[in-house]
Structure 1
Amino acid sequence: MTPGARLQAAIEVLDRVQAGAAPEVALTNWARASRFAGSKDRAAVRDHVYDVLRRWRSCAALGGGDSGRALVLGLLRGRGGDLSLFDGARHAPAPLTAAENAHLAADPDLSEAEALDCPDWLMPDLRAALGADFAPVMAALRHRAPVFLRANLARTDRDGALAALAAEDIGARPHPLAATAIEVTRNARRVRQSRAFGAGLVELQDAASQAVVEALPPLDGLTALDFCAGGGGKALAMAALGAQVHAHDIAPARMQDIPARAQRAGVRVERVAHPAGAFDLVLVDAPCSGSGSWRRDPWGKWTLTRAGLDRLTQTQAEVLAQAAPLVAPGGWLAYATCSLLDAENESSIRQFLDRSPDFTVQSTLRLTPLDGGDGFSLATCRRKT
C-alpha cells in the first residue's frame, strides 16, 4: 500500500468508529476485508487510527469536522504531515476541496480543551486531581505509550532479560519505576515472537503496574488473592515474588489465558470462582475509567460519561465491600485503579474506611504518565487484629 492508500484506509476505519463501531472491531473488519494489506500496512493504518483517537478533538478542530477524512486531515496538519498525499492517486484520499483548503489556510484557534484533547465535562475533575500537572499530563496522554516489559524473576533477573532481548536485536533499557521494569526502545513488534518472551523471561506489563506490585507488602510466602484478576498480569508478578496466588474475576472468561501464561512464566496461579477463607493480602485492581491509560485505550476518553463514572464508583464500593471480609486479621487490602480521578481513588477509599473501621490506610502511591508509565493509584490498608 502507498502512504496515501494507508491514509484512506484509516479514514474508512475512523468513519466506522464514528458510526458506532469499537476501534478494534473496525480495524479487524478492515484487515479481514483487505487481504492485500501486509503486516507493515496493517501496523501503519492502526497507528494512524490510534493517533487520531488520542487527539480526536484537536484533529477535528484542525481538520474541520468529525468525519474520518477531516480527522486525518487534522492529524496531518497538527504534526506537519504531507497534505499532498490527498491526491486521489492509487487509492489515496481524493484531492482537497475548496472548502477544505480554506479551512486549512485559516489560523487555528483551539480552546484549551481542544488543544489538550480533553472532554469539557471532565476538565474540572482532572484539574482538581492533578493540580499543576493537569496540562502536562493531558499533553502526555496525546502521545503513544512506551512499550514496557517485566523481567520475570521466577526465570531470570533484569540484566539477564536485557541480555536475552539484545541477542535478538530488541533494543531495551531499565526503567526506574520498578526493579523489574524494562522499556523497549527498538523493534517492539518483535517481542511476542522472541525467544525471550516464549521462554517466559519477560512479560508485557506497564511499568506503573509493576510499581504497584512492588509497593505491596513483602510478598514472599504470603497467601494472596487477586480479586479482579482479568488477564492475570499482577497475579503473575506477585507469584514471581514468592506469593501463593489465587486469581478471581467476576467474568471468569477474562482469566482464560492465565494457565498458559503461568506455565510459560514458571509460576503457579490458582483460579477460583468463589473465593473463601482468609488471605494475607487481597488486591483489588478495581474496574475504573482507565483515565490513567488513555494513551493505550484512547476511545475510553471520548465514551466516558458522568453517568458512567457514577456507575463505576458504585461498582468500586461494591467490590471493596465484597473483598474486605476475605482479608485475614492483621492482613492487607490493596486498592488500585488506573485512574487519575479523585472520585475513583481518594474518595472511594475514604468512603470505604468510613464503612469499615477495622481497616486503616498504611501507604498510598500516585503515579501519572509524567512518571513514564500509565497513571495508577494504590492505597494499602491493614485490617486490625
Structure 2
Amino acid sequence: MLKDGARMASASAGSLRARKTLVAAELALSVVLLVGAGLMLRSFWRITENPAGFAPERVLTMRMQFSGPRYRENTNRIAYVDELLQRARRAPGVEAAGVSSSADSRMRLDIEGAPDVPREARPSALVSVVSDGYADAIGMRVVKGRWIRDDEPAPVFVMNEALARQYLAGQDPIGKRVRLPWVGNQSFATVVGVVADLRYSKLDARSEPELFTDYRHGRPFGLTVAMRVAGDPTKAAPPIRALLAGADRTQPIFDVKPLDVALADSIAPRRFNLLLLGMFAGSALVLALVGIYGMIAYSVAQRTHEIGVRMALGAERHDVVRMIVWQGMTIAAAGIAAGVAGTLALTRAIASLLYDVTPTDPLTFATVAGTLAVTALAASCGPAIKGALVDPIVALRCE
C-alpha cells in the first residue's frame, strides 16, 4: 500500500508539473499573439490619426488610360485632358475639378546652385503632372506660395514639404529653380509653391519627396480626375461619368469611387490582418485564463490535506490564499517572461507591416504583460479563496 501511495503521489506530482508547463506555454503564446495584435492596433491607430494632408470628403475620383496609337503624341494627350477638364467643371454639382497623373517612380532632379555631384547622388522625387483646380478638388493645403495654373507661360513646379525638408533645409523653396530631364527641354523651372505632405493613394504610405508640374508642360501618364461635389459622390458618379466618357468613347473610365472610400480600401488588408490576429490573441487569452484556473483548481484539490494541516497548525486563511495565488503568479511570470523573449525575436518578422511603431514598442509590451498578470491574478484568486474556505476538519480527512 505504501508503494501504491508513493506511485499515486508521484503520478499526481508529474501530472501537476505537466499542467504547469502547458499553462506557461499557453501564456507565452498569448504574449506573442497579444503583442503582435497590439503593435498592429497601434499602427492602425497611427495611420488613421495622422493627417492625410487633404480633405477627402465629398470627392469623387475616376481613372483613365491613354489607350491607342493616337495618344502616343503628347499634344493629343493634352487635348484630351483639356476636354475632360471642361466637361468635369461644367458637370452639375461639381464645385472644383482637376487631374493628376503620376509615373509612380522617383526621378533624379537638379537644383540650381546645388553642388555638382554624380547622378546617382542627386536628389530624387516622385513627379506628378497636375492641373489647375486639383488642389481645390481634393482640399490640398498650400502652405507657401501658390498652386499651378492652367495658363502657365512656362514650366513651374510645386513641391511638398518632405522635398523642401530633405533637400532645401533652412532655405526658402519659393523661387528656387529645378530641372527634370523631360520638362521644358531640360531647362530649369521655378518653384512657385509648397504644399503639405500628402497620403492620397494609400493611407499607410509614408510621405516621400514629391514635385508637381502642370500637364501642359509635362507628359501625362494614366489620369485620375478628382471632383469635389456638392452632395453624395456615389449618387453624382453616373451622370458625371457619362459626361466625361463623351470626351472620347474609345477611352475606358474605371475605378469610379469616392476618395474617402478609396483611402479606406487602401488599408483594408491591415484591417483584416488586425481582426484575424486579434481573434487569435483573444482566443489565446481565454485559453490562458481557463488554463490557469484549471491548473490552480487541480493543485488545490491535490493539496487539500496539506491545506488542512497548515490551518490546523495556525495558518490563517489569507496565508492560504497568498500561498495559492503565489503559485499561480509564479507560473504566470515564467510564461510571460518566455513569451516576451520569444516575441522580441519574432516581432522583427512583422516590422514591415508596422507604421510609425517600433517592433519593440515598450508601451505595447508593458500593456500586454500587465494584462496577462492581472488575468493570471484573477484566475488564481477563485480557486485560492475556495481552498482557504475549506473546513480544516474536512481537509484533514482528505487523502
TM > 0.5 fold call: no
Larger radius of gyration: 2
TM normalised by structure 2 equals 0.20
Tell me which of the two structures has the higher relative contact order, counting C-alpha pairs closer than 8 angstroms and 6 or more residues apart: 2
TM normalised by structure 1 equals 0.20
- Greater percentage in helix: 2
